[in-house]
Amino acid sequence: MYAGEHINVTEDRAVLHTALRRPATDSLVVDGQDAVADVHEVLDKIYAFAGKVRSGEWRGVTGKPIRTVINVGIGGSDLGPVMAYEALKPYVKEGLECRFISNIDPTDAAVKTADLDPETTLVIIASKTFTTLETLTNARCVRAWLLDGLVAAGAIEDTEEARRGAVAKHFVAVSTALDKVEEFGIDPVNAFGFWSWVGGRYSVDSAVGTSLAVAIGPKGFEDFLAGFRAVDEHFATAAPEQNVPLLMGMLNIWYVNFWKAHSHAVLPYAQYLHRFPAYLQQLTMESNGKSVRWDGSAVTTDTGEIFWGEPGTNGQHAFYQLIHQGTRLIPADFIAVANPAHPTRDGETDVHQLFLSNFFAQTAALAFGKTADEVRAEGTDEAIVPARVFPGDRPTTSIMADELSPKVLGELIALYEHITFVQGAVWGIDSFDQWGVELGKRLALQIAPAVSGDDEALATQDPSTQGLVTWYREHRR
């Protein structure tokens, strides 16, 4: 991977997300191109752009500075940026806000733009090929909202020339399809590229993270990259018995293949990490949700886990019951920081200390449980003793950091990237393709005419789909 070999075998591609954070002094020639030099050329361009937006030099068509950045993307072009933005909100420039539109449900775009001023809004469209159905559909919706709003406010004239001029001031792209970017109305100069060797779920530290670079600034983004780099170096050089991603990856193999664990809980005791479990769902499940090996043969063991979770202590009052006393083994990763961004007291108690007391208590309870004798010693009625026994021996991993800084977040993401790689390598699968997302997308395009009222198209569908589409057509207004 580090050398640029084509380990994504089904797409014949290198896997070089680690090159995204290598220092500019490095060089890595892959397929005749210096990947590190290319990365830093784009980074310099992103930093210059971010600086202009943050300083107020970049202004909208009416001369007002940008106050809101909307990132339009889906999958890796959304999950990574929104997770990182939410995690690093204390580092976001005051007076600047990012919003994220991903779902093709029109409600998403409508709600996210409802209270915004088009004159102070900048839109980043993130699509490598500039053909992603959901992203381009949402991009057109946001473009219509912004241009119609500018016209209604008298900010621009209702002419094609004025509209194209406004798009050039209010839209940029994360894409390499410069012809399509220009066709949309975006100046190709304002397009930030990334490469086929970067998978979407590994791309938050590429140009896909442009919204984050604007939000936390070039210095913050450099710290973010430094965190990734530190874990990359650790993974590449640490001895096996001290190699954290290797050990955690092998532990997950142990849980899945020897203890039949089918899911894995991620429980951040840090509210700013509330989107981290959702981010890990794509990273891990899209990577290792495979039933075929690199060589095309069927796997002979279970692969992948269902990743899920919520911040503590919310989860304690929801699903921890299943982890503590359920019949399924559910390994859990607990994540906490020693110093919160907002050290609030309630007048007598340090609230964060109370919060972390729950963190420590839960991992201890899962490990050691509570015996029937301990329950009886509390004077419990014998009839309900079994219900109050905790079996213990439920595996957890505790991850703690000094604070949730850009560097720490980079370290945390890279840790799970390499854990995912380790598991895929042991299972012999390609962790870097995602053919499982293609079939449904193709069928959606085939079904769309039937949904719109084409009876001939409806007749070509299977009976179940025909019934569902017919019900929808009868009930839509």
In this predicted model, what pLDDT tens digit does every residue of 303-331 receive, in sequence order?
999 999 999 999 999 999 999 999 999 99
pLDDT-derived band at 3 (thresholds 50, 70, 90) equals confident
d(CA 259, CA 254) in angstroms, rounded, equals 7
| Residue listed under structure tokens 């990237």 | 417
pLDDT at residue number 346: 65
| Alpha-helical segments (H) within 30-132 | 35-55, 76-87, 106-113
pLDDT tens readout for residues 368-417: 999 999 999 999 999 999 999 999 999 999 999 999 999 999 999 999 99
Q: Of 57, 183, 317, 438, which residue is the catalytic one?
A: 317
Q: What pLDDT was estimated at residue 198?
A: 95
Higher pLDDT, 8 or 70: 70
Instruction: With beta carbons less than 8 A apart as the criterion, state whether 330 and 264 touch.
Output: yes
Active-site residue, 441 included: yes
Is 324 known to be catalytic? no
Q: Are the CB atoms for 177 and 139 separated by under 8 Å? A: no
Cα distance between residue 295 and residue 336, in whole Å = 40
| Token code pair at residue 48 | 């210059």
Q: Taking Cα atoms as reference points, which of 323, 302, 304, 303 lies closest to residue 312? A: 323
249: pLDDT strictly greater than 70: yes
Q: What single-letter DSSP state applies at residue 206?
A: T
- Does residue 184 register a pLDDT over 90? yes
How many percent of the chain have pLDDT more than 90? 95
pLDDT number for residue 334: 99
Q: What is the pLDDT of residues 56-115, one digit of tens each?
A: 999 999 999 999 999 999 999 999 999 999 999 999 999 999 999 999 999 999 999 999
For the whole model, what pTM was predicted? 0.96
312 neighbors 337 (Cβ within 8 angstroms)? no
What's the pLDDT at 101?
99
pLDDT for 477: 86
**Rounded Cα gap, residues 352 and 112, in angstroms:** 32
Lowest-confidence segment of 20-24, 180-184, 242-246, 345-349 by average pLDDT: 345-349
Active-site option among 219, 260, 262, 441? 441
Average pLDDT of the segment spanning 201-226: 98
Catalytic pick from 86, 119, 286, 411? 286
473-477 average pLDDT score: 94
- 430, 424 Cβ separation under 8 angstroms: yes
Q: Give the model's pLDDT for residue 349.
A: 75
What does the pLDDT look like over 326-355, one tens digit per residue?
999 999 999 999 999 987 766 667 899 999
User: CA–CA separation, 13 vs 30, rounded Å?
Assistant: 10
In the chain, what percentage of residues exceed pLDDT 70? 99
pLDDT in tens, 409-445: 999 999 999 999 999 999 999 999 999 988 998 999 9
Residue 317 annotated as catalytic: yes
Give the pLDDT band of residue 31 (cuts 50, 70, 90): confident
pLDDT at 117: 98
Please determine, for residue 366, whether its predicted confidence score (pLDDT) is greater than 70. yes
Which of 143, 138, 147 has the alpha carbon at shortest distance from 107? 138
